Amino acid sequence: DGGITQSPKYLFRKEGQNVTLSCEQNLNHDAMYWYRQDPGQGLRLIYYSQIVNDFQKGDIAEGYSVSREKKESFPLTVTSAQKNPTAFYLCASSEWGPYQETQYFGPGTRLLVL
C-alpha cells in the first residue's frame, strides 16, 4: 500500500536530549514537509524539502533540524535548543508539478517531555 509512515507513534524526551522523528513515504513524491500542532491550534510549518539534499526553513524552524538524503525519507530532529517541544508532529508529502501540489499527511508522532 502506498502511503506515509511516521514513527514512533509516541516519543518521550528528557531535558537536554535530542530526539529524531522518522517520516517515510512510498508515493514517489518529490516534496516533503514537517508541521507542528499544539492544542487548539492549526498546524505550523517547521521545515520543507522540495528535492533531495535541499530543504528550507518554515515559520518555526528554531530548535529543529532536518536532512533529506533520500527521496523517500525526511527525518526531523528536535534538539535541546527547542525549549517547548511537547506537541503533535505531522509529516506530509506532495508531488512537484503544476496542479499536483496537494499535500497528504502521515499519522503523526506525539512528543512528550519527561
Per CB under 8 A, residues contacting another protein are 31, 33, 35, 40-45, 48, 50, 56, 58, 88, 90, 92, 94, 96-105, 107-108
Q: Are 13 and 112 in contact (CB under 8 A)?
A: yes
* Smallest separation (angstroms) from another protein to the CB of 92: 8
> In terms of CB distance, is 85 or 106 closer to another protein?
106
> In terms of CB distance, is 75 or 108 closer to another protein?
108
> In terms of CB distance, is 13 or 44 closer to another protein?
44
* Smallest separation (angstroms) from another protein to the CB of 32: 10
* Smallest separation (angstroms) from another protein to the CB of 21: 15
Q: Are 6 and 72 in contact (CB under 8 A)?
A: no
E strand segments, the chain: 4-7, 10-13, 19-25, 31-37, 43-51, 54-57, 64-66, 76-78, 87-94, 104-105, 109-113
Q: Please, how many CA atoms are within 13 Å of residue 35, restricted to the half-sphere of its CB?
A: 17
Joined grid coordinates for residue 30: 518529490
* Smallest separation (angstroms) from another protein to the CB of 15: 26
